[in-house]
Amino acid sequence: MVPPSLGMAAWALVTGVAMVKSGLSVWTATAMTVLVYAGSAQLAALPLIVAGAPLAVLLVAAFCVNLRFVIYGAHWRRYFGHLPRWHRLWLMYFAVDLNYVLFVRRFPEPRPQPEQLPYFWGGAVWNWASWQGASLLGIVIADRVPTQWGLGFAGVLALLGVTYSLLSDRKTWIAAGVAACAAVAAFSLPLKLNIVAAIAAGVAIGLLLDRSFPGAAPERA
Amino acid sequence: MPSWYIAAGIAGLTVMTVLTRGFFVISERELELPPWAMHGLRYAPIAALVAVISPEILLTDGALIATWQDARIYAVLVGTAYFWWRRGIFGMIVTGTAVLLALKIGLGW
């Protein structure tokens, strides 16, 4: 649990720095990290907030970046579906990528067991504390670093790395390429609608490729 | 950036966190998504990430980068090379940021 948390802490540090370097105050950045608690959605939201994008565009982008959690959730339900609704939602708020990976490895059998809740909370609390600690450290450091160093770009590099790790086959490469071209070509659209257009173009080409070449089925779900 | 906008943005992002992580547990009944939606789930995250970062990497004030003296180019090239060499996001951030800072501080790019 400790080494992967260290990697995540580094990621949190970058998020903290990028938030302040995008122009958020120390206090807004702190509120964002404590409440939103989703690094890649926060990083993706920053350029949009700086550009003053409409809230709807901001939310569409964050929703799409977070969609992997929807996939995890279908799996989580088999473990925690018997709990009351508010309890389930409370658990899921803390269910980040690392918790999911470790939990499913520890309990490969998708059915409720009594030791699952303590295991879940042990990991969730540890993750939350290391994430928030490192993120706050990043916020404080960034406040002391000159803006012309352009450190906020570290957040873009982090998202680029996540993008690379999602490129699993030729179809995802094509979908990503189409989305990139659309986002740049449609950049002059008002209201940051180029983001929405690019997401729509990327997903549409992906679905089209899946239909035309059904060879490789989606491995998850 | 007006403060109401930031506050509403943070509140909205928080709702998105809860909504996506809780999507399948909110309902009391078992949810079934149509197959095309499950397929779409595979492409939406990468499309969204690329949509956000590609203008940040490729554009300056709405136009394609027109100079070689832009630290972002080399930060992305070195970070990308590191990623495909070692498959590590962490090292990619470190090497890319190091190049960025060296060019920005050293050469003023």
User: A132-159, pLDDT tens digit by residue?
Assistant: 999 999 999 998 888 888 888 998 999 9
Cβ-based contacts of B52 with chain A (< 8 Å): 44, 47-48, 61, 65, 159, 183, 195
Contact: B51, A89; criterion CB under 8 Å: no
pLDDT for residue A219 is more than 60: no
Residue B3 domain flag:
yes
Residue B88 domain flag:
no
Residue B70 domain flag:
no
CA B16 to chain centre: 16
pLDDT for residue A3 is more than 70: no
Band (pLDDT 50/70/90 cuts) for residue A5 is low
Q: What is the mean pLDDT of residues B72-93?
A: 93
pLDDT digits (tens, 9 = 90+) for B8-59: 999 999 999 999 999 999 988 887 778 888 778 789 889 999 999 999 999 9
State the smallest CA–CA distance between residue B72 and chain A in angstroms: 8
Q: What is the mean pLDDT of residues B69-85?
A: 95
- What is the Cα–Cα distance from A13 to A46, expressed in whole angstroms? 15
- Each as own residue / partner, the long-range contacts of residues A49-52 (CB below 8 Å, 24 or more positions apart, any chain) are A49/A22, A49/A24, A49/B1, A49/B5, A49/B6, A49/B9, A50/A22, A50/A23, A50/B1, A51/A192, A52/B1, A52/B5
List beta partners, residue B59.
B64
State the smallest CA–CA distance between residue B32 and chain A in angstroms: 9
Band (pLDDT 50/70/90 cuts) for residue A220 is very low
Contact: B48, A195; criterion CB under 8 Å: yes
Q: What is the mean pLDDT of residues A25-39?
A: 95
**Quick one: which of A4, A9, A22, A7 has its CA closest to A156?**
A22
Q: Look at A7 and A69; give whichever has higher pLDDT.
A: A69
Write down the mean pLDDT value for chain A: 90
In chain A, % of residues over pLDDT 90: 64
Q: What is the mean pLDDT of residues A193-202?
A: 92
In chain B, % of residues over pLDDT 90: 64
Measured between CA atoms, the residue of chain A closest to residue B35 is: A221
Cβ-based contacts of A24 with chain B (< 8 Å): 6
pLDDT digits (tens, 9 = 90+) for A63-122: 999 988 988 888 899 899 999 999 999 999 999 988 888 898 899 888 899 999 999 999
Confidence (pLDDT) at A2? 58
Outline where A51-168 has alpha helix (H): 55-65, 67-80, 85-93, 97-106, 116-142, 153-166
Q: Is A134 on the interface with B (CB under 8 A)?
A: no
pLDDT digits (tens, 9 = 90+) for A168-177: 899 999 999 9
Residue B19 domain flag:
yes
Contact: A69, B36; criterion CB under 8 Å: no
**Residue-number span of the structural domain to which B12 is assigned:** 1-31
Domains contained in chain B, number: 1
Residue B55 domain flag:
no
Contact: A70, B41; criterion CB under 8 Å: yes
Q: What is the mean pLDDT of residues A30-58?
A: 94
Residue B8 domain flag:
yes
Band (pLDDT 50/70/90 cuts) for residue A221 is very low
C-beta separation of A61 from B53 below 8 A: no
Contact: B9, A45; criterion CB under 8 Å: yes
- Whole-structure pTM value: 0.84
Q: What is the mean pLDDT of residues B93-108?
A: 92
- What is the Cα–Cα distance from B61 to B73, expressed in whole angstroms? 16
Angle of the B3-22 helix axis to the A85-93 helix axis, nearest 10: 120
